[in-house]
Amino acid sequence: MAENYGEKIAYSKFGSGEKLLVILHGWGCYKEMFAPIAEHLARCYTVVVPDLPGFGESPEPSRPFSVDDYTDTMIDFIKSFGFDTVSLLGHSYGGRIIIKLFSKGDLPFEIERVCLVDAAGIKPKKSLGQKLSLLCYKGGRRILSLPPLQKLFPDAIEKWRAKRGSADYNSASEVMKKTLVLAVNEDLTDCLKNITAPTLLFWGDKDDATPLSDAKIMEKKIPDAGLVVLKGGSHFSFLENTPYFLRVADAFFEN
């Protein structure tokens, strides 16, 4: 079970509409990045944007969190606002949480609409080169773990890992590094069929973190999904052309 964060989750609240919209940010992001979007959508909604545990002003969990842990935490968080229904917008890692929400039984609220923006959740297949690289990494790590080498080169394993790891991984604390590993090793493709709410997919066609091919898989497997592609957009497509994103979001959420 996820820890009970309660008031430890920092969040921003916009508007006072009769419907609730919760925005979940991606890995390494924070609630302020979505302020312009939240302010715009607050014309029709009460919009809440939390800092996920371990990001922004919310403290790290005391242990590595799985996607299920984040999902359970967000269920309690959303429930605390007392709305019977909620619409959700998730970017990158926030999309993982939203996908997982639909695999939870007996939610204390109904999910009305979903917008996934350059969302994560589909585990990429490794190329032959990547598989060989992984084998070399594991072999090198085993060798460097031998007691004589550990004594001679105590920092060697960490340097080896840093050389291979992503910027997100290398900049994270030990708890968050393990949290990231738990996320990227879990494939949520089979969960997509459980998304019963109308779903908007908004994607940059130049996204190299969660490529457009992921969006096309999601469009195919989510029962009621539509895809809008931002030409030239990256993994942060909602920031690169915010006016266009807001026009698309208005048409979807205000329909």
Residues 6+ positions from 73 with CB-CB distance below 8 Å: 2, 3, 5, 9, 53, 65
Among candidate residues 67, 68, 81, the one with its CA nearest the CA of residue 22: 81
Expressed in percent and rounded to 5, the helix, strand and coil fractions of the chain are 45, 15, 40
Task: Calculate the dihedral angle through the C-alpha atoms of 182, 186, 188, 189, rounding to the nearest 10 degrees.
Answer: 160
% of the chain surpassing 70 pLDDT: 79
**Could you give the CA distance from residue 32 to residue 41 in angstroms, rounded to a whole number?**
15
Q: What is the pLDDT of residue 132?
A: 45
Q: What are the tens digits of pLDDT across the range 226-244?
A: 999 999 999 999 999 999 9
The DSSP 8-state label assigned to residue 157 in this structure reads: H
CATH class of 6-123+186-253: alpha beta
- Quickly count: other Cβ atoms within 10 Å of residue 226's Cβ: 13
Q: Which residues contact 204 (CB under 8 A, 6 or more apart)?
A: 118, 212, 229, 230, 232, 233, 234, 235, 236, 237, 240
pLDDT in tens, 58-81: 999 999 999 999 999 999 999 999
- Sequence ranges of the domains in the chain: 6-123+186-253, 128-174
Query: Is 169's pLDDT higher than 90?
Result: no
Side chain identity, residue 124: P
Compute φ and ψ for 8, nearest 5 degrees: -75, -10
Identify which of 99-103, 168-172, 181-185 has the greatest average pLDDT. 99-103
